[in-house]
Amino acid sequence: MNRGRVAVAMSGGVDSSVAAAMLVEQGYEVVGFTMQIWPRDTEADIPPGLHGCCGLDAVDSARRVARTLGIAHYVIELREPFERFVVDPFCDEYAGGRTPNPCIRCNTFVKFGPLLQRAAEVDAGKLATGHYARVGYDEARERWVLRRGVDAEKDQSYSLYGLSQEQLARAAFPLGGTAKSQVRERARRLGLPAAERPESQEICFVSERSYADYLRRRRPELARPGAIVDREGRELGRHQGVAFYTIGQRQGLRVSREEPLYVIGIDVAGNRLIVGGEQELESPGLLMGQVNYVSVAGLPKDGSPMEAKIRSGARPVACTAWAEDGGVRLEFARPQRAIAPGQAAVCYEGDAVALGGVIESQL
């Protein structure tokens, strides 16, 4: 029985490959899409064996999987929107002393932007990905709700918080109820070429071994040395350019003191790194902007108890959320370490993503 047409974003990896296989097994007509997103100026410089989630070898891998499953497969040219919505903001944020999350922007503005539009053009009712998350319509809330994946270690709902109600209505996450170990075993059982493919690297478009090297090539003007100072302004050393450091960083400071020192502030205007002890990294809360309300339509005036994550791999911590000046203020049950402006803060009610936004400052 044909249950309709679904497009699957196929990176060539095991997760999206199994997502496509599951949909085929469920009776859908599946069309595979692989995004071509790598900027042309990086292609010749990619080290052998480097696998990005949409890397240059992704097309071949995804094509082999599609052939095994007997589904149509297309390569979708998305270099321009990827450059505009992901790569340029990535560089701009680091230049501004902030720590970006390019995967979130890719999900929101590329996968569920122009790629979702391509799905509509081939009459696909949904765009599926290999994310470990769940989505469904909640009649009581009268909203589409994004939920954590059942595999807590692989849950990727954090990176999907930016999806609008319209995007969630057309999203499908077949792996949301499955454990990662089951996914790889299923790929082996089906004989999928991606079964043993390694996990993708953190930043798919960075061909260099570090984001700092990438920035040096893309924006050489950012390599502007300056002072490393303590809170009192005393110079303790020299940095290579403030864009190459993040809040909480310890390695690479080359400052000798009895106690370990960490980056606790980035003064872009003064071209200075501010460092301090580990206890100075802690903060009782934060302010976030660019807020997207997901399972809730807003916040009560007296605040709402929730759990929040301030980075992808962080454990959720209890907090209270208030709407404030067009954004949201979070106060944590216990101070949090290394809150980095530019990163995302995502709030949960139970297993549902309530809201998320971009961290603007610590409290």
Residues 6+ apart with CB under 8 A from 349: 295, 296, 304, 306, 307
Q: Once rounded to an integer, what is the mean pLDDT over residues 307-312?
A: 96
Considering its fold, how many domains does the chain have in total? 3
- Is 217 contained in some domain? no
For residues 321 and 183, membership in a common domain is answered with no
For residues 92 and 49, membership in a common domain is answered with yes
- Is 345 contained in some domain? yes
For residues 22 and 127, membership in a common domain is answered with yes
Which H/E stretch holds residue 262?
A: strand 262-267
Catalytic residue among 53, 54, 103, 106: 106
For residues 260 and 287, membership in a common domain is answered with no
Residues in the chain: 363
- Is 317 contained in some domain? yes
Whether 290 has a pLDDT exceeding 60, the answer reads yes
Q: What pLDDT, on the 0 to 100 scale, is given for residue 48?
A: 46
Indicate which CATH number applies to the domain containing 246. Answer: 2.30.30.280
Confidence of residue 288 (pLDDT cuts 50, 70, 90): very high
Indicate which CATH number applies to the domain containing 347. Answer: 2.40.30.10
For residues 296 and 272, membership in a common domain is answered with no
Boundary residue ending a domain (140, 175, 190): 190
Catalytic residue among 53, 54, 204, 319: 204
Indicate which CATH number applies to the domain containing 31. Answer: 3.40.50.620
Boundary residue ending a domain (214, 245, 276): 276
DSSP string, 1-53: ----EEEEE--SSHHHHHHHHHHHHTT-EEEEEEEE---GGGGGGPPTT---T
For residues 22 and 109, membership in a common domain is answered with yes
For residues 163 and 290, membership in a common domain is answered with no
b/e string for 71-110 if b means 16 or more Cβ within 10 A?
A: bebeeeebeebbeebbbebbbebbbebbbbbbbbbbbbbb
Whether 10 has a pLDDT exceeding 50, the answer reads yes
- Is 294 contained in some domain? yes
| % the chain with pLDDT above 70 | 93
Q: What pLDDT, on the 0 to 100 scale, is given for residue 49?
A: 45
Answer yes or no: 54 catalytic.
Answer: no
Whether 42 has a pLDDT exceeding 60, the answer reads no
Whether 96 has a pLDDT exceeding 70, the answer reads yes
For residues 241 and 348, membership in a common domain is answered with no
Which H/E stretch holds residue 106?
A: helix 102-106
Q: What pLDDT, on the 0 to 100 scale, is given for residue 59?
A: 86
Confidence of residue 1 (pLDDT cuts 50, 70, 90): low
- Is 106 contained in some domain? yes
Q: What pLDDT, on the 0 to 100 scale, is given for residue 204?
A: 80
Span 119-162, pLDDT tens digits? 999 999 999 999 999 999 999 999 999 999 999 999 999 999 99
Q: Which domain holds residue 261?
A: 224-276
Boundary residue ending a domain (244, 276, 308): 276
Q: Which of 332, 287, 328, 358 is nearest to 99 (CA)?
A: 358
Answer yes or no: 347 catalytic.
Answer: no
Residues 6+ apart with CB under 8 A from 77: 36
- Is 91 contained in some domain? yes
Span 176-191, pLDDT tens digits? 999 998 999 999 998 8
Write down the mean pLDDT value for the chain. Answer: 92
Q: Once rounded to an integer, what is the mean pLDDT over residues 322-351?
A: 96
Phi, psi of 103 (to 5 degrees): -65, -40
DSSP string, 284-330: EEEEEEEEEESS-S---TT-EEEEEESSTTPPPEEEEEEEETTEEEE
For residues 287 and 271, membership in a common domain is answered with no
For residues 58 and 124, membership in a common domain is answered with yes
Q: Once rounded to an integer, what is the mean pLDDT over residues 197-213?
A: 77
Whether 99 has a pLDDT exceeding 50, the answer reads yes
Span 268-287, pLDDT tens digits? 999 999 999 999 999 999 99
For residues 140 and 243, membership in a common domain is answered with no
Strand 29-36 to 72-77 pairing: parallel
- Is 299 contained in some domain? yes
| % the chain with pLDDT above 90 | 82
CA distance 273 to 168: 40
For residues 65 and 161, membership in a common domain is answered with yes
Span 207-264, pLDDT tens digits? 777 899 999 999 999 999 999 999 999 999 999 999 999 999 998 898 888 889 999 9
Q: Is there a contact between 158 and 309 (Cβ–Cβ < 8 Å)?
A: yes
